[in-house]
Amino acid sequence: MDILQIVIVIGVLMLIAKPLGDYLYHVFSNEPNLTDRVFRWVEKPIFALIGVKQRTGMSWKRYAFSFIAINIVLVAISYAVLRLQSGLPLNPSDIGNMEPTLVMNTIISFITNTNLQHYSGETGLTYFSQMAVIMMMMFASAATGFSVAVAFVRGITSKGKSLGNFFEDFVKAHTRIFLPLSTIITLVLVALQVPQTLDLTLTITTLQGSTQQIAIGPVASLESIKHLGTNGGGFFGVNSAHPFENPNPLTNVIEILSMWALPASLPFMYGRFAKSRKQGWVIFSAMMILFLVFLTVAYTAEKNGNPALNDLGIDASQGSMEGKEVRFGMAQSVLFTAVTTAATTGTVNNMHDTLTPLGGLVPLAEMMLNVVFGGKGVGLMNMLMYAILAVFICGLMVGRTPEFLGRKIEPREMKLIAVAILAHPFIILAPTAAAFLIDLGKGSISNSGFHGITQVLYEYTSSAANNGSGFEGLADNTPFWNISTGLVMFFGRYISMIAMLAVVGSLVRKQWVPETIGTFRTDNALFTFLLIGTVILIGALTFLPVVVLGPIAEHLTIR
Amino acid sequence: MSIMVHEGQEGRSGGALFWIALRAGVVFIILCGIVYPLVSTGLAQLLFPHQANGSLLRDKDGTLIGSELIGQSFTDPSYFHGRVSSIGYKAEASGSNNYAPSNPDMIARTQASIVQWQQENPDVLIEKLPIALITNSGSGLDPHITPQSALVQISRISKLTGLSEAELASLVNEYTENRDLGVFGEKRVNVLKLNLALKEKLGI
């Protein structure tokens, strides 16, 4: 039954990914189509309000400037809201203002689509902050990532010079994708028992006669965009493990598909833009093959359970149940974990800190690679970056000038790609090492031994990959962690995005090279495996040593 | 591709772009941060008021006794017990200890649970004790136990309440929820609902 339910979910994903990719293409191709007729009447007043008259194409620099500008505006307003939240409306539980380093961490976390949370939603945020800051940024960061990815795809596939208009992409991502889908999913989730109310925390007398306070709130409207936007920040501290956020296996499946469908459909959108559906299939297959390998490792490890508990003589046939919920069991917990770190959502329905060493290695490795589907847009961009690298390496081996989609790959692009690829391990490994050198870092570790190394490593990997899940035992709400992870999230998001826009800005200026018999093909099965090989090679070279120190050493000690 | 760079537009200053960004920021804060959640709340309250307000559970006198989604702490041995919760099922702030599989405190906690189990259930072998019952759930609020975890508690509850084991087994059966759509998730028993039914059966 476990295998069957996993296969069904993956099957449904395959069914929706391609048509959704076609839809995304129609939204962003800027050629007249049916979606215009449905949505133009909403978009017209929005464009008028924000002052966009002519939606003219932008160079990569203007595109980058525009997305950074809107991010700055949202950050500034949100900072003010969180610092002043106790005096703002909708604060029935009388929650205080947030402390400055925690505000900094929270704001960066949400604008970068990371959603690492050093606060606990029940006690740290008012309903107004949950709505006007958290939910709003979940939309904005997803739309930003999507827009930049679309600009990147336009750049490498079109013969034109422009990347499109940022504000047009940003508005359409809201009006044609995230707002309508979120509203529908919200209502489906409410029908399946996720609460949506502005009432106070409930106080009740339990069956045994004691008092229980139950935090509640506008949960469903956050839940839908949290997954659709691959954000991952929970309304409650324990995120989607909380029965109000994820009350039954069916909501679990809906949440998995919500966070997975858009990232999985982007390769197909790319195939449409490239006028070669095979290009899309190559990218999608590479992602899916890597995903299935990771899923299998995690499932086997969790099902085999924790040897230390299995030895106690109890009935441990169910597998490792510490930190998991009964309604989800093994299959729905492991699938959720594999998808949330693949799609860099970071929502969790079980506690990753409690996973068996090899089970915990899987989410860690998926975030280190950061290309297995990947978050809103960024995963596709990273995968294409590896595709260019693969072409470059193969070109060197056969002694030809490498080309990708009809454009020559030259030193300028390779330098920028090297910066983007090296920045990721650097902002993970350097702060991890630094945290072990000082007590401010070491002191927060809650599980001693090798697992402690993994706790710190996971925190920075999650920040750099803009994932946001955590080994939550780590006592991370301190100025040290708030500031250091804040910086890592910031660099993790903006370095690669700007570098990738610069790559494409340089590519669009080049002459189109016609395809000949000697052109290295990037649309066949061979290239899929070269791509997977490149990803694994780079990932293993950079991360294997630290992985051996953490999860693998822990596995060997409790085996 | 219909987009072309118009030189005149391209020359627009950074200040003009920033002004657009500022206006867009305000528009989307209102749209996504205020209109969307409030409209969602209105629709949810209108269409599904029971679910939207937390699926609250009342006993036969109509007294509010909790939410069917949120587990409660049961320590009285004549009730069915739920899973371990490091926060004691306090639902104002969810959480758990996040014990690593190699954490000695977790091993000690589990061993203590086994000792307590043997005291309360002397006639059930510990080989029968399901791991789910003595591990901490992720949320600390898990409302469910596995059907097996309920069945192994029957002999204790039968002795303390006087209800026959067969009667209790059929009660557990009645309150065992199937997998969603027959495939997704696990079979499970809602502890609060089961205990509510048990209480009504005993007439207290």
* pLDDT tens profile B170-203: 999 999 999 999 999 999 999 999 999 999 999 8
Whole-model pTM?
0.94
User: In angstroms, what separates the C-alpha of A358 from chain B's closest C-alpha?
Assistant: 11
| Residue of B61, B131, B145 to mutate, testing the A interface (most A Cβ within 10 Å of its Cβ) | B131
Do residues B165 and B87 both lie within one domain? Answer: yes
User: In angstroms, what separates the C-alpha of B157 from chain A's closest C-alpha?
Assistant: 15
A328 contacts chain B (CB < 8 A): yes
Nearest Cα neighbor of A355 from B104, B101, B149, B129 is: B101
Contact flag B3-A56 (C-beta cutoff 8 Å): yes
Structure tokens that stand for B8 in this block: 């005149």
Residue B144 in domain:
yes
Contact flag B110-A58 (C-beta cutoff 8 Å): no
Count of helix runs (H) and strand runs (E) in chain B: 9, 5
pLDDT in tens, A461-470: 999 999 989 9
Contact flag A249-B52 (C-beta cutoff 8 Å): no
Mean pLDDT of B10-32: 88
Kind of pairing between the strands at A407-408 and A403-404: antiparallel
Residues contacting B55, CB < 8 A, separation 6+:
A193, A195, A247, B67, B68, B69
Q: How confident is the model at residue B92 (pLDDT cuts 50, 70, 90)?
A: confident
Residue in chain B lying closest to A305 (CA)? B101
Residue B2 in domain:
no
Contact flag B92-A170 (C-beta cutoff 8 Å): no
Residue B176 in domain:
yes
Do residues B113 and B184 both lie within one domain? Answer: yes
Residue A348 in domain:
no
Residue B25: domain span:
7-50
For residue B179, the chain A residues in CB contact (below 8 A) are: 1, 5, 249
As to burial, measured by CB atoms within 10 angstroms (0-12 exposed, 13-18 middle, 19+ buried), residue B82 is buried
pLDDT given for residue A26 in this prediction:
94
For residue B73, the chain A residues in CB contact (below 8 A) are: 206, 208, 210
Residues contacting A180, CB < 8 A, separation 6+:
none
Mean pLDDT of A189-195: 98
Contact flag A77-B94 (C-beta cutoff 8 Å): no
For residue A340, the chain B residues in CB contact (below 8 A) are: none
Residue in chain B lying closest to A218 (CA)? B41
| Residue A419: pLDDT over 80 | yes
For residue A318, the chain B residues in CB contact (below 8 A) are: 130-132, 146
pLDDT given for residue B5 in this prediction:
40
Residue B128 in domain:
yes
CB B175 within 8 A of CB B194: yes
Residue A106 identity (one-letter amino acid):
T
Instruction: Give the whole-angstrom CA distance, residue A462 versus residue A346.
Output: 8
Do residues B96 and B143 both lie within one domain? Answer: yes
Q: What is the 3-state secondary structure (H, E, C) of A92-153?
A: CCCCCCCCHHHHHHHHHHHHCCCCCCCCCHHHHCCHHHHHHHHHHHHHHHHHHHHHHHHHHH
Instruction: Give the whole-angstrom CA distance, residue A371 versus residue A502.
Output: 20
Do residues B123 and B100 both lie within one domain? Answer: yes
Contact flag B24-A215 (C-beta cutoff 8 Å): no
Q: Domain total for chain A?
A: 1
Residue B149 in domain:
yes
| Residue B1: pLDDT over 70 | no
CA atoms within 13 A on the CB side of A192: 22
Do residues B14 and B115 both lie within one domain? Answer: no
A469 contacts chain B (CB < 8 A): no
pLDDT in tens, A17-61: 999 999 999 999 988 888 888 899 999 999 999 999 888 899 999
Q: What is the 3-state secondary structure (H, E, C) of B118-178?
A: HHHCCCCCHHHCEHHHHCECCCCCCCEECHHHHHCCHHHHHHHHCCCHHHHHHHHHHCEEC
Structure tokens that stand for A395 in this block: 């070109």
| Distance set, CA A489 to CA A24, A105, A120, A458, B168 (Å) | 27, 9, 19, 13, 54
Residue B129 in domain:
yes
Residue A150 in domain:
yes
User: In angstroms, what separates the C-alpha of B20 from chain A's closest C-alpha?
Assistant: 6
pLDDT given for residue B117 in this prediction:
94
Nearest Cα neighbor of A305 from A293, A317, A323, A292 is: A317
pLDDT in tens, A492-551: 999 989 999 999 999 998 888 888 887 888 899 999 999 999 999 999 999 999 999 999
pLDDT given for residue B12 in this prediction:
63
Contact flag A248-B185 (C-beta cutoff 8 Å): yes
Instruction: Give the whole-angstrom CA distance, residue A155 versus residue A60.
Output: 9
Residue A182 in domain:
yes
Instruction: Give the whole-angstrom CA distance, residue A232 versus residue A113.
Output: 8
Contact flag A313-B101 (C-beta cutoff 8 Å): no
Contact flag A451-B188 (C-beta cutoff 8 Å): no
Contact flag A202-B67 (C-beta cutoff 8 Å): yes
What residues of chain A, 37 to 56, have a C-beta less than 8 Å from chain B? 46, 49-52, 54-56
pLDDT in tens, B70-89: 999 999 999 999 999 999 99
Contact flag A327-B144 (C-beta cutoff 8 Å): yes
* Residue A323 zone, left/alpha/beta (φ > 0; ψ -120 to 50; rest): left
What is residue A177's DSSP assignment? I
Q: Domain total for chain B?
A: 2
Instruction: Give the whole-angstrom CA distance, residue A286 versus residue A266.
Output: 13
Residue in chain A lying closest to B67 (CA)? A214
| Residue of B65, B137, B151, B190 to mutate, testing the A interface (most A Cβ within 10 Å of its Cβ) | B137
Mean pLDDT computed over every residue of chain A: 93
| Residue of A322, A448, A469, A504 to mutate, testing the B interface (most B Cβ within 10 Å of its Cβ) | A322
Do residues B14 and B100 both lie within one domain? Answer: no
For residue A107, the chain B residues in CB contact (below 8 A) are: none
Residue A255 in domain:
yes
Residues contacting B184, CB < 8 A, separation 6+:
A5, A8, A249, A250, A252, A253, A332
Do residues B46 and B60 both lie within one domain? Answer: no
Instruction: Give the whole-angstrom CA distance, residue A18 versus residue A177.
Output: 15
Range in A157-161, A221-225, A232-236 with the lowest mean pLDDT: A157-161
A191 contacts chain B (CB < 8 A): yes
Residue B1 in domain:
no
Which of A5, A46, A182 lies nearest to residue B27, judging by beta carbons? A46
Which of A57, A138, A348 lies nearest to residue B5, judging by beta carbons? A57
Q: How confident is the model at residue A254 (pLDDT cuts 50, 70, 90)?
A: very high
For residue A353, the chain B residues in CB contact (below 8 A) are: 98-100
Residue A133 in domain:
yes
For residue A207, the chain B residues in CB contact (below 8 A) are: 65-66, 72, 74, 79, 192, 195-196, 199
A133 contacts chain B (CB < 8 A): yes
Residue in chain B lying closest to A314 (CA)? B127
Mean pLDDT computed over every residue of chain B: 91
Do residues B62 and B18 both lie within one domain? Answer: no
pLDDT in tens, A325-347: 999 999 999 999 999 999 888 99
Do residues B17 and B105 both lie within one domain? Answer: no
CB B179 within 8 A of CB A252: no
As to burial, measured by CB atoms within 10 angstroms (0-12 exposed, 13-18 middle, 19+ buried), residue A161 is middle
For residue B140, the chain A residues in CB contact (below 8 A) are: 238
SS3 B189: strand
User: In angstroms, what separates the C-alpha of B158 from chain A's closest C-alpha?
Assistant: 18
Cα A255 versus chain centre, distance:
14
For residue A31, the chain B residues in CB contact (below 8 A) are: 2
For residue B126, the chain A residues in CB contact (below 8 A) are: 313-314
Do residues B101 and B164 both lie within one domain? Answer: yes
Nearest Cα neighbor of A86 from A75, A99, A74, A73 is: A99
Do residues B40 and B118 both lie within one domain? Answer: no
Residues contacting A264, CB < 8 A, separation 6+:
A13, A17, A284, A287, A373
User: In angstroms, what separates the C-alpha of B39 from chain A's closest C-alpha?
Assistant: 9
| Residue A257: pLDDT over 90 | yes
Give strand pairing partners of B145.
B189
Residue B97 in domain:
yes
Contact flag B185-A252 (C-beta cutoff 8 Å): yes
For residue A5, the chain B residues in CB contact (below 8 A) are: 179, 183-185
A236 contacts chain B (CB < 8 A): yes
Residue A239: domain span:
2-276
pLDDT given for residue A56 in this prediction:
87
ipTM of the complex: 0.93
Which of B39, B134, B183 lies nearest to residue A1, judging by beta carbons? B183
For residue B11, the chain A residues in CB contact (below 8 A) are: none
Do residues B82 and B148 both lie within one domain? Answer: yes
